[in-house]
């Protein structure tokens, strides 16, 4: 099959819509949809690719590519991006690729990776890494490697298994695996963990308070300061700017449950937080990517009538000055209490780095089990 790679314009509505609708050709075959594929919420994705709305573009350069067959049909897509904030923070020259979707054809995949590599090399980068759409702070980081037996939770990746073969045969190699864990809400925490949590809470004078929606952006500023401090030494981390953090808050504020977003405080000063959100993919999997569309006129009703009984812990962290004191147990215990009160089945804790033994051992001690793994690849340019 002849493959033609075309650069797509971020300013072209036609190009963006074609780019965003490609997954429907990948995950629906012969009229049958992959039962574990969750159609992406297209308004959110349009916003991510909007150079005027997404603050990422204030410090990054992005090029989208489409792969076309000899019938001029779009059969693959990829993004190539250079994030100046990431490279300045890590003193590296790493370019990222992401938004990857492709038919099961090695020639198409190679052409897409080659196009991304060409753009990144021309921008002075020495390594290409991904999939990352666009940073570790965004959705869809890494390819799903294990755990194809269930849909992805909110903002986590789902992809065909053959994407790994396409990546490896295109010259990319594993750079890091990520873990997603599951903790049932109805299973009590080990008694030892409960005792530790209660003892630590008293000894360290910890108080727990929920997110205050009336002062949302003030609380968001506290969360941002903690987030950037807590994760600054993590692999792949890049600090968020004020604009980026407020952008993320704007995306989550309509779905967040305030009692599931809590701060741990000592003498009124926040020293940790836990960000848990309902798994809205439980609704999106019933829909077709839009809240309002002719193809799915009852989409909004489906969303509003879905009972969310599963969650995802997107981030939990303790200030470095308070680590190794057992405060993680306090946060998990509080989340468990809230989950039981809300009659939640459980929650996914995602993601963690494969080599973050401290966090992974702690989750294991809580009774968490790995249910999915994700993989990132890279290649020298």
Q: Where are the domains of the chain?
A: 4-178, 182-373
Domain spanning 4-178: CATH 3.30.420.40: no
Q: pTM, whole model, 2 decimals?
A: 0.94
| pLDDT above 80: residue 1 | no
The candidate with the shortest Cα–Cα distance to 370, out of 360, 378, 362, is: 360
Cα–Cα distance, 130 to 128 (Å, whole number): 7
Cα–Cα distance, 221 to 87 (Å, whole number): 24
Q: What is the pLDDT of residues 91-106, one digit of tens each?
A: 999 999 999 999 999 9
Cα–Cα distance, 144 to 38 (Å, whole number): 13
182-373 matches 4-178 in CATH topology = yes
When pLDDT is cut at 50, 70 and 90, the band that residue 324 belongs to is confident
Cα–Cα distance, 57 to 53 (Å, whole number): 9
Q: Which residues lie below 8 Å from residue 5, measured CB to CB, with a gap of 6+?
A: 65, 66, 67, 68, 111, 112, 114, 115
Q: What is the pLDDT of residues 14-24, one digit of tens each?
A: 999 999 999 99
Q: What CATH fold (topology level) applies to the domain 182-373?
A: Aminopeptidase (3.40.630)
| Range with the poorest average pLDDT among 76-85, 297-306, 358-367, 370-379 | 297-306
| Range with the poorest average pLDDT among 129-133, 218-222, 230-234 | 230-234
When pLDDT is cut at 50, 70 and 90, the band that residue 187 belongs to is confident
Q: Which helix (H) or strand (E) holds 194?
A: helix 191-203
Per the listing, tokens 């314009």 go with: 9
Q: What is the pLDDT of residues 332-374, one digit of tens each?
A: 888 888 998 899 999 999 999 999 998 899 899 888 999 999 9
- What is the mean pLDDT of the segment spanning 3-21? 97
């Amino acid at each position: 099959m002849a493959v033609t790679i075309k650069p797509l314009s971020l300013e072209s509505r036609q190009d963006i819509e074609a780019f965003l609708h490609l997954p429907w050709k990948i995950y629906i075959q012969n009229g049958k949809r992959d039962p574990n594929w969750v159609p992406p919420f297209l308004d959110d994705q349009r916003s991510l690719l909007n150079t005027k709305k997404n603050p990422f573009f204030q410090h990054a350069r992005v090029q989208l590519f489409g792969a076309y067959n000899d019938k001029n049909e779009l059969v693959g897509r990829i993004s190539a991006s250079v994030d100046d904030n990431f490279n300045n923070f890590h003193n590296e020259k790493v370019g990222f690729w992401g938004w990857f979707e492709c038919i099961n054809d090695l020639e198409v995949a190679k052409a897409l990776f080659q196009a991304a590599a060409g753009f990144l090399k021309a921008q002075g980068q020495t390594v290409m890494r991904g999939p990352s759409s666009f940073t570790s702070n965004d959705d869809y980081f890494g390819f799903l490697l294990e755990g194809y037996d269930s849909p992805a939770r909110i903002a986590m990746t789902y992809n065909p298994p053959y994407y790994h073969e396409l990546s490896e045969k295109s010259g990319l190699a594993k750079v890091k695996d990520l873990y997603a864990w599951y903790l049932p809400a109805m299973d009590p925490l080990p008694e030892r963990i409960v005792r530790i949590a209660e003892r630590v809470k008293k000894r360290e004078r910890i108080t727990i308070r929920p997110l205050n929606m009336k002062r949302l952006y003030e609380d968001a500023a506290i969360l941002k300061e903690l987030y950037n401090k807590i994760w600054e030494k993590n692999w792949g981390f890049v600090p968020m700017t004020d604009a980026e953090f407020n952008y993320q808050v704007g995306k989550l504020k309509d779905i967040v449950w305030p009692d599931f977003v809590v701060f741990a405080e000592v003498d009124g000063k926040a020293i940790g937080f836990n960000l848990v959100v309902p798994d809205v993919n439980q609704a999106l999997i019933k829909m077709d990517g839009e809240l309002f569309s002719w193809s799915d006129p009852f989409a909004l009703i489906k969303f509003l009538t879905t009972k969310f009984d599963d969650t995802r812990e997107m981030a939990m962290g303790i200030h470095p000055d308070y680590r190794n004191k057992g405060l993680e147990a306090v946060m998990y215990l509080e989340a468990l209490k809230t989950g039981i009160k809300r009659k939640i089945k459980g929650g996914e804790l995602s993601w963690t780095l494969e080599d973050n033994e401290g966090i992974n051992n702690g989750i294991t001690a809580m009774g968490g089990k790995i249910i999915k793994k994700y993989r990132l690849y890279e290649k020298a340019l």
